[in-house]
Amino acid sequence: MEQQLEQIREQQKASWNKFSSGWKKWDDLTMDFLKPMGTEIIKELNLKNNDIVLDIAAGTGEPGLTIAAAIPDGKVILTDLAEDMLEIARENAMLRGIKNIETMVCDVCELPFPDNTFDAISCRFGFMFFPDMQLAAKEMMRVLKPNGRIATAVWNVPEKNFWVTAIMGTINKNMELSGPPPGAPGMFRCAADSFMTDVFKQAGFKNVSQKEINGKLNCKTTDTYWNMMTEVGAPIVAALSKADESMKEKIKREVFELVNQKFPDGNVVIDSSALIIYGEKP
């Protein structure tokens, strides 16, 4: 089991490093898209000016950098499996003049911090990809101070996230791909109602709550939507890499038809839905 988890971790690390250039290219669009979820996480954490905060699965820096800017006397440590993503986070911090941060490459299941270190933990769209979610939650509990707060975002059900299903649904319709085993890391792994609240409660968190937050992917054009998704979406790129050129063209054509049908005026602004889960350490 441990060997299998390690294999998943290494695959994820390689994948996020590989796609870091795509995330950098599309950073403005993706950060605008994900901002409502980050804003809600920050609101839930009820931060104080001198808090010490851990941002897990920080990627290119959010919501950790916004948190750091909001608590000038505090500090934020941004962690991720992928060094290349954290390099972009450091560049973004420099561009914004944010100095009260550190970055650290580490695995969420083996956090390199003493017990009771942090006042708060943020984790935006990381849990779905953690090989062992229960162990990750327990590690977060361990490094939080007593009464410390945690807030995380995960994607809601596929039916409320057309921005994913438009492409992945079309790929699955056209290609015979072997699906991931039940419970394997993936976009909608944590989408079931009360799934994440149960994970938090089992890890020992108290005052656990869940709410739905909606966002909008403002692509403007179908071209922009396709280009962005095929440059930042690792599962999409992996699936398309198994298709020949004629199949790729067929999938692209059908995706364009699907999106254009949904947005006949040509203004592609796609709704999304996420769940924000909050908890406290006793």
The whole-number pLDDT of residue 166 equals 97
φ, ψ at 144 (rounded to 5°):
-75, 145
Q: What is the pLDDT of residue 1?
A: 53
Check residue 237 and give its pLDDT.
85
Does pLDDT of 210 surpass 90? yes
% residues pLDDT > 70 (the chain): 93
Please determine, for residue 239, whether its predicted confidence score (pLDDT) is greater than 90. no
What is the pLDDT averaged over residues 215-243?
Answer: 92
Q: How far is CA 34 from CA 44, 245, 271, 273, in A?
A: 16, 32, 11, 10
- pLDDT tens for each residue of 148-182: 999 999 999 999 999 999 999 999 999 988 767 77
Distances (CA, A) of 254 to 203, 214, 272: 44, 26, 21
Question: How deeply is 50 buried, as exposed, middle or buried, from its count of CB atoms within 10 A (0-12, 13-18, 19+)?
Answer: exposed
User: Is 86 in contact with 63 (CB distance < 8 Å)?
Assistant: no
Tens digit of pLDDT for each residue in 96-139?
999 999 999 999 999 999 999 999 999 999 999 999 999 999 99
The whole-model pTM stands at: 0.93
Task: Sketch out the chain's domains with CATH numbers.
Answer: 2-157+185-216+274-280 (3.40.50.150)
Confidence at residue 12, expressed as pLDDT on a 0 to 100 scale: 64
The residues with which 215 forms a beta bridge, in sequence order, are 272
Residue 218 one-letter amino acid: N
Other Cβ atoms less than 10 A from the Cβ of 183: the count is: 8
User: What are the beta bridge partners of residue 280?
Assistant: 149, 206
Least confident of 4-8, 63-67, 197-201: 4-8
Q: Which of 34, 45, 106 is nearest to 70 (CA)?
A: 45
Q: Tokens 């999409």 map to which residue?
A: 236
pLDDT band at 23 (very low <50, low <70, confident <90, very high): confident
> What is the DSSP track for 226-248?
HHHHHHH-HHHHHHHTTS-HHHH
